[in-house]
Amino acid sequence: MGDGAKTREVIDGVVQVFLPLPMRPTIVNVYLVRCGDGWTLVDTGMHTGDSLNALRGALAEVGIAPRDIRRIVCTHHHMDHYGSSEPLRELMHAEVHLHPLEAERAASAHDAIGENAEYLRRNGIPEVPPERQMPPMSRIVGTLYRPAIPDQLLADGDELPLGDGRRLDVVWTPGHTPGHCCLLLQPDGVLFVGDHLLPKITPHVGIISDDAGDPLGDFLASLRKVGELDVETVLPAHGAVYYDHRKRVTQLIEFHDYRMQVMLDVIRGRPATAYDVALEAFDLTPHSPFQQQFPATFETLAHLEHMRLEGRTEKVVLDDRVVWRAKPAR
């Protein structure tokens, strides 16, 4: 493709577009998929001027007018995947597709980490001084995050026809978020994985409230589900295109098994809050940045809760704090 490549044609009729992000990871990959005389866009990038300019430049590079994009399909509701969905719908006059569980969260800016002080305190997270607090999600909505109310809701097993004998099959993969979906381009065997199956990092899988269920259990089941698909090429939202999806599935399952073992070892010695377990399991200290301490604690909660459901841990309330301990092996 053109100079300074904002784009790369992965296979015929599938173009990878690199959009900048104002934080790490610094790039999100979105994808253009040809459907007849039009195109489908998979994910939107964040709502920044840089991102919109990069997308316009990429469309010009490929020779696509914004109006040629008929459909915007998003893997999940996070800012770097869904943040520009409303402005792009206005620009392209395209239909926006999203899973209903993601639509719910986009509408309520549900990821208001830091706004539930009581939940954080109960799980051992020390109070953050005001000058070091992260801005609440509600302050970001409307600037970096302009989510659309979707026109169509995605469901597991849906088939989105593209013409020319091609279609996108929707594969519901909860875990990173409750309604995360991968998309399998048939008959080419190309899997758009969003954040579910990244080549180098494991996506954040955490618990931020008492009613979050078992996201790690969901994530591990979703990994196994994707491992059963016939896939030639994996197109991730972050990192390079790769080809052996089953190898990556196995690596991620083993990674989380190992992490659970580490956490179990911590609470075999003594009952501990999720925060204290997180500091040890993630090699952090109370002086580490809160941007590391918070997600590590939420990830730890997901692992401890999954093991509780398996009968390997138990949680008790001591002095108004939730502490975890290992259950003796039967």
69's enclosing H/E stretch is strand 69-73
CATH 3.60.15.10 residue ranges of the chain are 7-248
Give pLDDT tens digits for 97-124. 999 999 999 988 644 444 578 899 999 9
Nearest-angstrom CA–CA distance, 160 and 168: 5
Task: Decide if domain 253-326 falls under CATH 1.10.10.10.
Answer: yes
pLDDT at residue 132 in the model:
60
Average pLDDT in the 243-258 region? 98
CA distance 12 to 287: 50
Q: What is the pLDDT of residue 291?
A: 86
pLDDT-based confidence at 269, cuts 50/70/90?
confident
Predicted local distance difference test score (pLDDT) of residue 230: 98
pLDDT score for 143: 83
Interacting residues of 13 by C-beta distance below 8 A, sequence separation 6+: 33, 34, 164, 166
pLDDT confidence of residue 116: 77
**Using CB atoms within 10 A of its CB, is residue 316 exposed (0-12), middle (13-18) or buried (19+)?**
exposed
Return the CATH number of 7-248, one of 3.60.15.10, 3.40.50.11720, 3.40.1050.10, 1.10.287.130: 3.60.15.10
* CA–CA–CA angle 74, 236, 223 (5° rounding): 90
Q: Which of 65-74, 138-147, 237-246 has the lowest mean pLDDT?
A: 138-147
pLDDT tens digits, residue range 138-167?
Answer: 566 668 899 999 999 999 999 999 988 999
Q: Report the alpha-carbon distance of residue 178 to residue 172 in Å, rounded.
A: 9
Q: What is the pLDDT of residue 319?
A: 87
- Please give the backbone phi and psi of residue 267, each rounded to the nearest 5 degrees, phi first: -90, 0
Q: How far is Cα 40 from Cα 49, in angstroms, rounded to an integer? A: 22
* pLDDT tens, residue by residue, 291-304: 899 999 999 999 99
List the one residue out of 215, 177, 168 whose CA is nearest residue 196.
177
Where does CATH 1.10.10.10 sit in the chain?
A: 253-326
The strand pair at 27-35 and 233-236 is best described as unpaired
Whole-model pTM: value is 0.94
Rounded CA gap, 211 and 98, in Å?
Answer: 22
